[in-house]
Chain A
Amino acid sequence: MNGAQDLGGMHGFGPVRPEADEPVFHAPWERRVFALAMAMGFTGTWSLDGSRAARESLPPAEYLASSYYAIWLKALERQVAEHGLATEAEMASGVASGPGRPVARVLTADILEPRFRAGFPSDRPAQGPARFAPEAWVRARNRHPVGHTRLPRYVRGRRGRVLRVHGAFVLPDTNALKAGENPDWLYTVAFDATELWGPEADPNQQVMVEMFERYLDPEAA
């Protein structure tokens, strides 16, 4: 969706402000939000793509005014409610009005390290041959889905060149909606800054974007 999360190329946010000796978390509540988001994600009730979709569907003004863990918290509460795991009243009061629903799995302390060390790979067997090879010219499709996508606005309609073919990966657009993993070929596509930002851009800069095959059209060399 064309939401506030799609920030590439925007102006007006001011300078980057690095923090010296920054702690991993800035307040106790951030620790709890992080851990709850990880643990609830592990239940398998929704995917990481689903979580991203929930976060970016916050109204733009609210998204931009919220700290990152505040965004995570709002999205988590929304997902818990939407999936019927707890009601808003229960989350507000801390008092359960009924038993929990069954979930696929629960993250326990004893399995945490081996399970996270193994990771949760997103590559999948390809459903067919890759359409593009390295060095092929491509053009990002100009599409504006209202649902989740990982096609940033700043590359839509722009011409680039395939740098790397990664293999087939879970397609976030449909996986976020629980409409299937639909593995699709994933490429690194290199765009010249002048193609993205116009003739006054730095001629000695490129931006590489990870792009699914269905985001791309072939382009004459």
Chain B
Amino acid sequence: MRALESILVEKGYVDPAALDALVEMYETKIGPHNGARVVARAWTDPDYRARLLADATPAIAELDIGGRGGEHMVVVENTAEVHNLVVCTLCSCYPWPVLGLPPVWYKAPPYRARAVIDPRGVLAEFGLTLPGSTRIAVWDSTAETRYMVLPRRPAGTEGWDEARLAALVTRDAMIGTGLARAPGGASA
């Protein structure tokens, strides 16, 4: 690993300072806190929510979020009737600008294999059991379009501002393997 990096630097293909900056960017700046801001805005601003669902990339860019791995965003909304779940069965496609780099389980065979054939079983492993009447919509990210789930706003949050709401929005809620946290409680 060190030998590979040395060679690629010595041959002039990569700049070591850029490597460090890349790591720092994805460890500290780009992560699910970005997506949480998008969700909180959509929960509080109906016009924004409409723009987000109609054409997500420019709507997300309104919050100065976007770029590599999120050039073509689609946001799908959970409702009382439908629950959305995002997967990439072929590799690890994931909406980087809003969620950061994917967790290991998202890239690993168990999730990629079963999300499309047994999504309710997968959700149960995350502690989420939905009624049979709730339709499950699984989105397989097989192209450069990237999906994010707009979770349902928890009850009991009337009048909350965006920052307070954003703290309820978990990464898993935006993948669809969880729900937003209830106020004062744990993520369901």
- Interface residues in B135-169 by Cβ distance below 8 A to A read 135-145
Question: What residue in chain B is nearest A107 (Cβ atoms)?
Answer: B18
Residues of A within 8 A of B14 (CB): 36, 39-40, 43, 106-107
| A interface footprint on B117-142 (CB within 8 Å = 1, 0 otherwise) | 10110100110000011111111111
Residues of A within 8 A of B31 (CB): 24
Residue B183 lies at the interface, judged by CB distance under 8 Å to chain A = no
Residues of B within 8 A of A24 (CB): 26-27, 31, 100-101
Do residues A205 and B135 form an inter-chain contact, with CB atoms below 8 A?
yes
CA distance A201 to B117 in the complex (A): 8
- In terms of DSSP, what is the predominant structure of the interface of chain B? mixed
Do residues A209 and B66 form an inter-chain contact, with CB atoms below 8 A?
no
Residue B80 lies at the interface, judged by CB distance under 8 Å to chain A = no
Do residues B67 and A116 form an inter-chain contact, with CB atoms below 8 A?
yes
**Interface size, B (range):** 35 or more
Residues of A within 8 A of B17 (CB): 108-109
Do residues A19 and B103 form an inter-chain contact, with CB atoms below 8 A?
yes
* Centre residue among A106, A113, A117, A193 by max chain B CB count within 10 A: A117
Do residues A91 and B68 form an inter-chain contact, with CB atoms below 8 A?
no
A7-B89, A166-B145 in contact; A154/B116 too (CB < 8 A)? Answer: yes
* Centre residue among A16, A25, A193 by max chain B CB count within 10 A: A16
Residues of B within 8 A of A85 (CB): 8, 11, 13
Picked from B5, B67, B104, the residue with its CB within 8 Å of the CB of A119 is: B67
A5-B90, A18-B126, A90-B7 in contact; A152/B135 too (CB < 8 A)? Answer: no
| B interface footprint on A5-36 (CB within 8 Å = 1, 0 otherwise) | 11111110111111100101110010111111
Do residues B12 and A100 form an inter-chain contact, with CB atoms below 8 A?
yes
Residues of B within 8 A of A31 (CB): 23, 27
Do residues B140 and A207 form an inter-chain contact, with CB atoms below 8 A?
yes
CA distance A154 to B112 in the complex (A): 12
Picked from A39, A67, A116, A210, the residue with its CB within 8 Å of the CB of B13 is: A39
CA distance A164 to B73 in the complex (A): 13
Do residues B1 and A73 form an inter-chain contact, with CB atoms below 8 A?
yes
Q: Output the least CB separation between A220 and chain B (Å).
A: 25
Residue B19 lies at the interface, judged by CB distance under 8 Å to chain A = yes
| B interface footprint on A177-210 (CB within 8 Å = 1, 0 otherwise) | 0000000001010000100110001101111111
Residue A46 lies at the interface, judged by CB distance under 8 Å to chain B = no
Residues of B within 8 A of A138 (CB): none
Residue A139 lies at the interface, judged by CB distance under 8 Å to chain B = no
Q: Output the least CB separation between B132 and chain A (Å).
A: 6
Picked from B114, B134, B142, the residue with its CB within 8 Å of the CB of A152 is: B142
Do residues A91 and B67 form an inter-chain contact, with CB atoms below 8 A?
no
Picked from A29, A39, A77, A193, the residue with its CB within 8 Å of the CB of B22 is: A39
Q: Output the least CB separation between B17 and chain A (Å).
A: 4
Residue B70 lies at the interface, judged by CB distance under 8 Å to chain A = yes
A8-B140, A86-B8, A93-B3 in contact; A13/B67 too (CB < 8 A)? Answer: no
A116-B68, A118-B67 in contact; A8/B109 too (CB < 8 A)? Answer: no
- Interface residues in A111-126 by Cβ distance below 8 A to B read 112-113, 116-123
Q: Would you mind naming 26 contact pairs between A and B with Cβ atoms under 8 Å apart?
A: A13-B110, A24-B101, A31-B23, A35-B18, A35-B19, A39-B13, A56-B90, A68-B107, A76-B4, A86-B7, A94-B6, A96-B7, A100-B12, A108-B17, A109-B15, A109-B18, A109-B21, A113-B21, A117-B67, A121-B71, A150-B143, A188-B74, A188-B145, A201-B117, A208-B140, A210-B140
- CB within 8 Å of A: which residues of B? 1-8, 10-15, 17-23, 25-27, 31, 66-72, 74, 89-92, 100-101, 103-105, 107-117, 119-120, 122, 125-126, 132-145, 172, 177
